[in-house]
């Protein structure tokens, strides 16, 4: 091999005609005929761009306050989205779940919407921070009836949960390849409806990665060839490979694989600790929150776990009461789940709680088999 050839830095250019094909593949995954934009940055930047571009009504007179947004907060990501909206001038009402680490309920959303007129509602679909799933179909129906735009952070959920953007009427769905799709984090994407385009701030004087109007004017309206700026070939080759792999497996099979893994993890975790963090229909397929027994904290359990383990505490308020089993992307498999349950069971035992590891593994395997034949 030529010692002067560095495959990562000498990657061949990504063909200009390839970007539109990537966007079309992502549109298929999302079940949408809306425009799909490719954002050359990790998904938090795409989320910030959405907030920045929708926070002001394009028709309002200068100096007037921005739009009114209902921002559903079930983790750090929702908190950040509210912050970006506020910074860009929107009036934001944050709706928190009644208990930290729990999903919001449709009734809570309905009540919040009845408290005034909102132009936009934002929600995270599935949360890896606490392993929960927000009731997106119910929220989408409420938001449609209210007449507001619906913005969904589906970064974690895409590939792990069914996500039918057009059927649900999602105006903006933000996704990234780095979670359930098993890809790299350097490029993200979003779908955007015509309704949402009508509320996007016009392009500014100078180009901005936070301007969706720039993407429209410089990419969509120019025939979807080269992207604005200088694209990183590596990232787009990686995305193309990720999407090839997703296509080969099939998006439904990928979602099923996450569902089997989550079903197994929940059954095993429940057998270990005697508790569930949330009901099965409120649980994400990406991460399972093992609810800890009274008197045990995540820090204690993690300190007792075998070195090199893949367990983690929840992130945010209440996160000390749970241990996360990560079964996202390549980890969405029964052997990974069984391994993590065994590590968790032994850590619980080492921390002084009597957990029956054998019973938990049997419960997990049975649940996965039942789910597969369901």
Which x/- pattern, by CB under 6 A, does the window 244-263 give for ligand PLP? --------------------
Rounded Cα distance, 227 and 209, in Å: 11
Q: Which residue has the tokens 């409806």?
A: 193
- Residue with smaller CB distance to ligand PLP, 83 or 293: 83
Rounded Cα distance, 54 and 26, in Å: 22
Segment near ligand PLP (CB under 6 A); pick from 94-102, 110-118, 171-179, 363-371: 171-179
Which of 128, 180, 285, 326 contacts ligand PLP by CB under 6 A? 128
- Residue with smaller CB distance to ligand PLP, 80 or 249: 80
Residue 156 touching ligand PLP (CB under 6 A): yes
Residue 91 touching ligand PLP (CB under 6 A): no
Residue 176 touching ligand PLP (CB under 6 A): yes
CB of 50 to ligand PLP, least distance (A): 11
Residue 44 touching ligand PLP (CB under 6 A): yes
- Residue with smaller CB distance to ligand PLP, 176 or 321: 176
Residue 178 touching ligand PLP (CB under 6 A): yes
Q: What is the DSSP string of 19-58?
A: HHHHHHHHHHHHT--SEEEEESS-HHHHHHHHHHHHSS-T
**330: DSSP letter:** G
How many CB atoms sit inside 10 A of residue 275's CB? 14
Residue 153 touching ligand PLP (CB under 6 A): yes
- Residue with smaller CB distance to ligand PLP, 127 or 214: 127
- Residue with smaller CB distance to ligand PLP, 155 or 238: 155
Rounded Cα distance, 138 and 272, in Å: 32
- Count residues contacting ligand PLP (CB under 6 A)? 14
Segment near ligand PLP (CB under 6 A); pick from 21-29, 174-182, 273-281, 327-335: 174-182
Segment near ligand PLP (CB under 6 A); pick from 17-25, 153-161, 269-277, 323-331: 153-161
Q: Helix (H) and strand (E) counts for the chain?
A: 13, 12
Site residues (CB under 6 A) for ligand PLP, limited to 13-42: 42
CB of 188 to ligand PLP, least distance (A): 7
CB of 156 to ligand PLP, least distance (A): 3
The Cα-based distances of 42 to 19, 39, 122, 330, 344 in angstroms read: 17, 8, 19, 19, 31
- Residue with smaller CB distance to ligand PLP, 315 or 350: 315
**Nearest Cα to 334, choosing from 255, 280, 277, 257?**
257
Rounded Cα distance, 191 and 197, in Å: 11
Helices (H), the chain: 18-30, 43-54, 76-87, 106-114, 136-146, 165-168, 194-197, 212-218, 233-249, 251-273, 298-304, 334-350, 357-373
Q: Of how many residues is the chain composed?
A: 374
Which of 22, 54, 72, 124 contacts ligand PLP by CB under 6 A? 124
Contact 121, 69 (CB under 8 A): yes
Provide the phi-psi class of 230: left if phi over 0, else alpha when psi is between -120 and 50, else beta.
beta
Q: CA-based angle 221:224:227, to the nearest 5?
A: 100
Residue 325 touching ligand PLP (CB under 6 A): no
Which of 49, 70, 155, 323 contacts ligand PLP by CB under 6 A? 155
Residue 43 touching ligand PLP (CB under 6 A): yes
Residue 77 touching ligand PLP (CB under 6 A): yes
CB of 47 to ligand PLP, least distance (A): 6
Residue 285 touching ligand PLP (CB under 6 A): no
What residues make contact with ligand PLP under the rule CB under 6 A? 42-44, 77, 124, 127-128, 153, 155-156, 176, 178-179, 185
């Amino acid at each position: 091999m030529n010692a002067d050839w560095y495959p990562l830095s000498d990657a061949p250019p990504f063909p200009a005609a390839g970007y539109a094909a990537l966007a079309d593949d992502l549109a298929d995954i999302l079940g949408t005929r809306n425009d799909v934009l490719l954002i050359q940055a990790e998904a938090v930047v795409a989320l910030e761009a959405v907030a920045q571009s929708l926070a002001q009504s394009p028709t309002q007179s200068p100096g007037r306050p921005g739009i009114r947004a209902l921002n559903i907060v079930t983790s750090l990501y929702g908190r950040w989205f509210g912050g970006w909206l506020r910074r860009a001038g929107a009036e934001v009402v944050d709706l928190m779940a009644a208990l930290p680490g729990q999903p919001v309920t449709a009734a809570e959303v309905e009540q919040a919407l009845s408290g005034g007129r909102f132009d936009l509602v934002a929600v995270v679909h599935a949360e890896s921070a606490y392993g929960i799933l927000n009731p997106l179909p119910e929220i989408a129906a409420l938001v449609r009836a209210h007449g507001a735009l619906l913005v969904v952070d589906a970064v974690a959920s895409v590939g792990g949960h069914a996500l039918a953007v057009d059927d649900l009427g999602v105006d903006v769905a933000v996704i990234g390849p780095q979670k359930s799709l098993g890809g790299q984090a350097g490029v993200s994407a979003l779908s955007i409806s015509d309704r949402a385009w009508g509320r996007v701030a016009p392009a500014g004087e100078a180009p901005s990665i936070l301007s969706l109007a720039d993407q429209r004017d410089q990419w969509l309206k120019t025939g979807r060839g080269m992207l604005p700026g200088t694209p990183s070939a590596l990232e787009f080759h990686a995305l193309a490979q990720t999407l090839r792999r997703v296509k080969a497996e099939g998006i439904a099979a990928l979602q099923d694989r996450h569902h089997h893994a989550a079903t197994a993890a929940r059954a095993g975790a429940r057998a270990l600790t005697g508790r569930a963090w949330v009901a099965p229909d409120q649980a994400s397929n990406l991460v399972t929150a093992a609810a800890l027994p009274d008197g045990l904290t995540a820090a204690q359990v993690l300190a007792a776990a075998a070195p090199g383990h893949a367990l983690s505490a929840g992130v945010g308020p209440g996160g000390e009461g749970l241990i996360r089993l990560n079964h996202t992307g390549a980890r969405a498999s029964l052997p990974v789940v069984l391994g993590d349950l065994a590590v968790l069971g032994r850590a619980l035992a080492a921390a002084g709680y009597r957990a029956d590891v054998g019973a938990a593994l049997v419960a997990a395997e049975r649940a996965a088999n039942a789910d597969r034949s369901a």
